[in-house]
Chains A and B, each alone.
Chain A
């Protein structure tokens, strides 16, 4: 009885292999048109550089990492990955609307932890992903997915080590999820 309700409550997602084929085709078309793959963390980097450049221009100019992304003729937000990432958000909105998943603001978590714990872990996870994606020259999209698809050795390395590390540490953080 309970299980039947569970199945009805379950969100309807597309078949993962079908989703994978679609994602692969999107990636292939991206390579065919632009000569490069997809990305996601790059947009946040542009946002960071833009913010620092607005708040403390001298500081941004002096920073050896950020100054490479600052030019006089246009804002760092005028960047391919920023437009693409804005597209990711719109695409998520469209799919969410189509499948009825856009609901009021909510926190998704294991029933065994508090909202505070979940948000704390999400924040730390984001910080680590932000730092790691800079060392790794991209995140799951730019390095692991697009890198591996274009046969980059570094892309493969990032993919294997990212998921590998995930499996190694998963046990210690199991309370967060199961």
Chain B
């Protein structure tokens, strides 16, 4: 029963080999889906290319359904799955900062690594910025240390927050995804009609 490494089924020594292999698969899918192009990615904000939404939502839904079924079949112990803890106010601030960074930079960290791999200078500068940003954060950490740890809600799940089961959350996600796929497909058709100069 999974997860395999925390349960000791795969020994810890394999951890980094597996990390490398998983990373390769992750990077391959990101690049092959078109995430090594910042103009592809930012299309989601201007309506001319919703590839980010399609890939992202499909992946979330597939992994969510997969985890629920693995649990149902007794293949995985969901209690041993890491649920990212929620720190309400710092996460709100962090997400807003990242949102601005997303539109300005055109990448997120993972996609910028794949863009560097195919020779994009803008991605190299973006990753350099990441380094500088995390450095600045660390240097000034004492000034907002209290804020950083504020609003701790622990490893609360979406279902727990809304008082429903996580199975229902998954179902709601599937419905939202399908509706979003349809609506954004219509929007994309309309926006692209007026855009001839865009060449991915």
Contact = CB atoms under 8 A, between A and B. Distances in A.
A159 B56 CA distance: 10
A3 B197 CA distance: 9
B37 A11 contact: yes
A127 B105 CA distance: 9
A140 B122 CA distance: 19
A137 B90 CA distance: 9
A32 B5 CA distance: 9
Contact of B126 (A126, A132, A157): A126
Most chain B CB neighbours (cut-off 10 Å) among A30, A64, A88: A88
A2 B46 CA distance: 23
A154 B82 CA distance: 12
A34 B111 CA distance: 22
B125 interface: yes
Nearest to B97: A132
Given A24-B58, A118-B122, A137-B84, A126 B94 contact: no
Nearest to A172: B103
Interface string A112-143: 00000011011111111111111111111111
Nearest to A11: B200
B153 to A, nearest CB: 7
Most chain A CB neighbours (cut-off 10 Å) among B15, B20, B93: B20
B159 interface: yes
A90 B137 contact: no
Contact of A108 (B61, B64, B120, B161): B120
Contacts of B169: 151
B189 interface: no
Nearest to A5: B199
Contacts, number: 534
A24 B173 CA distance: 14
Given A102-B119, A127-B129, A135 B97 contact: yes
B131 A150 contact: no
B148 to A, nearest CB: 7
B66 to A, nearest CB: 4
A121 B105 CA distance: 6
A92 B47 CA distance: 26
A51 B133 CA distance: 14
B99 A66 contact: no
Given A28-B66, A119-B121, A125-B104, A65 B137 contact: yes
A142 B84 contact: yes
Interface in B9-48: 10, 15-16, 18-34, 36-40, 42-46, 48
Contact of B131 (A47, A92, A94, A128): A47
A170 B16 contact: no
A9 B100 CA distance: 31
18 contacts: A29-B22, A34-B3, A65-B137, A85-B110, A88-B24, A90-B24, A91-B25, A123-B128, A123-B132, A127-B133, A137-B94, A144-B56, A151-B169, A154-B156, A157-B92, A167-B45, A176-B42, A177-B45
